[in-house]
Amino acid sequence: MKTIRWGILGCGKIARKFAADLALVSGSELTAVASRDYATAAAFAAEFPSKHILGSYEALVSHPEVDVIYIATPHGFHHEHAILCMKHGKHVLCEKAFALNTRQVKEMIEVAKEEKVFLMEALWSKFLPHYKKLMEFIREGKLGELKNVLINFGFATPVPTPARMYDPKLGGGSLLDIGIYNIFFAMSVLGKPDTIEASMTAASTGVDEQCSMVFKYKKGAIAQLLSSFSTNLATEADISGTQGRIRLKTRFYEPSTTFAYYPGRVDSETIIPIEKSIGWGYSYEIAHVNDCLRAGLVESPVMTWKDSVELMEVMDEVRRKAGIVYEVD
Ligand SMILES: NC(=O)c1ccc[n+]([C@@H]2O[C@H](COP(=O)([O-])OP(=O)(O)OC[C@H]3O[C@@H](n4cnc5c(N)ncnc54)[C@H](OP(=O)(O)O)[C@@H]3O)[C@@H](O)[C@H]2O)c1
């Protein structure tokens, strides 16, 4: 089996979890870590051993031993960093939100096509066992005709608050950071909405501290979604149809969630066992990228470019309705 040689671009919080899980995936190697300054990359490599320690992103994208780069910078930089990697012939796994708007996502995809390199949005939940089980339940008709989706995701931002959460230049706001999971799950089961209503409460920087959305479907379904940086919410998802309901308990997007099935009335709970995931849960998407690269693919058959474009189109429309604006719009 060909070893896939990974580079990490940006040594922040999520990069740490990713690096820990990368070590669990056979046939992968953490070949290089890169930070804007060498000392940060060196501290990172002390925790997560890497063959090469690099003090600039440019050094990483030009490194001859690196096959694929995991982009772990704030979303305001994803477009710039993904294109930088791909123009240097590197394959890319880029954190969510993939970019700030649909125009940027489409430009990234065009570069992937031109350069013939792999590009995927790191929407890790799509690769997790509980997500697969959810889709299996729906396919098998265990919920009957889907009628509604009710999802909330919220936490009171920590102090000191990371700049990326509220800075519009970095893509701040609850929608692109956590509301994206609400939308992703709603779209997974109901598809792209026919109409969207949205409203937000603004932080002092103008980005959404909270964002509330209602998606309506001609087939008679409705989704009600809330993201919040103001309060600690249950962070649960209810997916309901004429024959039953599924509740993904705290935290619905993570492998640690509990999968509860209510085939009848509200008090008839059955807990469905889910395969226990290893590590933080990022190993599934990593193994998938490895497989895609070994197969010579430029696009994932699971998290497709169409999936990323449609997700961003919906977020653009939510922002338009709620009045959330970024400079790049
Ligand atoms: N999939 C998930 O479960 C998950 C979870 C959390 C976050 N995320 C996503 O991952 C991305 C990063 O989130 P994070 O929580 O890891 O952020 P973070 O801790 O702030 O790390 C981001 C890193 O980006 C680099 N960076 C480059 N320019 C920067 C700038 N102007 N300001 C701040 N950082 C800059 C820095 O690395 P250097 O200093 O090393 O250059 C920084 O450590 C976001 O897009 C977020 O949505 C995904």
Percent of the chain's residues with pLDDT above 90: 97
Asked if 109 and 12 sit in the same domain, the reply is yes
At residue 298 the predicted structure's pLDDT band, cuts being 50, 70 and 90, is: very high
Do 269 and 285 lie in one domain? The reply is no
Do 188 and 212 meet the contact criterion of CB atoms below 8 Å apart? no
Identify whether residues 99 and 150 lie together within a single domain: no
Q: For residue 326, tell me if it sits in a domain.
A: no
What span, in angstroms and rounded, lies between the C-alpha atoms of 286 and 101? 25
**CA separation for the pair 291, 136 (Å, rounded):** 23
What single string gives the DSSP state of each residue in 191-224?
-S-SEEEEEEEE-TTSSEEEEEEEEE-TTS-EEE
Q: Is residue 193 part of a domain?
A: yes
Question: Cα dist. 249→129, 153, 213, 237 in Å?
Answer: 15, 11, 20, 7
Same domain, 258 and 150: yes
pLDDT at 153: 98
Task: Please give the Cα distance from 53 to 44 (Å, whole number).
Answer: 9
Indicate if 271 and 285 belong to the same structural domain. no
Question: Tell me, what's the pLDDT at 192?
Answer: 98
pLDDT per residue as tens digits for the range 129-150:
999 999 999 999 999 999 999 9
Measure 53 CA to ligand 1 centroid, in angstroms: 18
Rounded Cα distance between 161 and 145, Å, is: 42
Q: By the 8 A CB rule, do 93 and 70 touch?
A: yes
Flag whether 144 is in a domain. Answer: yes
- The amino acid sitting at 273 is P
Residue given tokens 């990228």 in the structure block: 289
Taking alpha carbons only, the member of 292, 300, 293 closest to residue 126 is: 300
**Cα 153 to ligand 1 centroid, rounded to whole Å:** 20
CATH number at residue 102: 3.40.50.720
140 and 48 in one domain? no
Contact 171, 164 (CB under 8 A): yes
Q: Work out the number of other CB atoms within 10 angstroms of the CB of residue 215.
A: 26
Which of 8, 9, 11, 14 best tests ligand 1's pocket when mutated (most atoms within 8 Å of CB)?
Answer: 14
Could you tell me if 134 and 263 lie in one domain? yes
Cβ of 175 below 6 Å from ligand 1: no
Per residue in 235-278, pLDDT tens?
Answer: 999 999 999 999 999 999 999 999 999 998 777 899 999 998 89
**Structure tokens given for 271:** 């807990």
Which pLDDT score is estimated for 326? 97
* Domain boundaries, position 105: 4-123+281-299
pLDDT, tens only, 49-106: 999 999 999 999 999 999 999 999 999 999 999 999 999 999 999 999 999 999 999 9
Ligand 1 probe mutation, 60, 164, 183, most atoms within 8 A of CB: 164
Query: Is 324 inside any structural domain?
Result: no
Six token digits for residue 66: 């690196």
Domain count, the chain: 2
State if residue 164 touches ligand 1 by the CB under 6 angstroms criterion: yes
Whole-model pTM? 0.98
pLDDT of residue 287: 98
C-alpha of residue 58 to centroid of ligand 1, in Å: 17
Confidence (pLDDT) at 264: 82
Distances (CA, A) of 149 to 9, 103, 117, 179, 232: 36, 28, 36, 14, 20
How much distance in Å is there from the Cα of 173 to the middle of ligand 1?
14
Q: Outline where the chain has alpha helix (H).
A: 13-22, 38-47, 57-61, 78-87, 102-115, 129-139, 174, 180-190, 283-294, 305-322
For residues 118 and 151, state if they share a domain. no
pLDDT of residue 174: 98
Same domain, 147 and 191: yes
Q: Which of 24, 292, 45 is nearest to 8 (CA)?
A: 45
Percent with pLDDT over 70 in the chain? 100
**Which residue type occupies 180?**
I
- Give the ligand 1 atom nearest the CA of 254: 3
Asked if residue 35 has its Cβ within 6 Å of ligand 1, the reply is: yes
Span from the CA of 242 to the centroid of ligand 1 (angstroms)? 41
Task: Verify whether ligand 1 is closer than 6 Å to residue 283 (CB atom).
Answer: no
Atom number in ligand 1 closest to CA 280: 3
Indicate whether 192 belongs to any domain: yes
Nearest CA to ligand 1 atom 36: 10
* Closest-CA residue to 235 (of 165, 315, 178): 178
In SS3 terms, 99-157 reads as CCCHHHHHHHHHHHHHHCCCEEEECHHHHCHHHHHHHHHHHCCCCCCEEEEEEEEECCC
Looking at residue 262, its pLDDT comes to: 96
By the 8 A CB rule, do 98 and 308 touch? Answer: yes
Residue 117 pLDDT: 99
pLDDT band (50, 70, 90) for residue 25: very high
**256 and 286 share one domain:** no
Q: How far is CA 171 from CA 165, 175, 207, 210, 271, in A?
A: 8, 10, 8, 14, 37
Element (H, E) at 65: none
Q: What is the pLDDT of residue 268?
A: 87
- Cα-to-centroid distance, 103 and ligand 1 (Å): 22
Ligand 1 site, residue 95, Cβ cutoff 6 A: yes
Q: Looking at the structure, do residues 150 and 208 belong to the same domain, yes or no? A: yes
- Give, for ligand 1, the residue of 73, 85, 93 to mutate: max count of ligand atoms closer than 8 Å to Cβ: 73
Confirm whether 35 is domain-assigned: yes
**Residue 159 domain-assigned (yes or no):** yes
Q: In what order do the strands lie in the sheet with 270-271?
A: 195-202, 208-216, 222-228, 146-154, 237-241, 244-248, 259-262, 270-271
Same domain, 133 and 268: yes
Give a yes or no: residue 47 inside a domain: yes
Q: Is pLDDT at 198 greater than 80 in this prediction?
A: yes
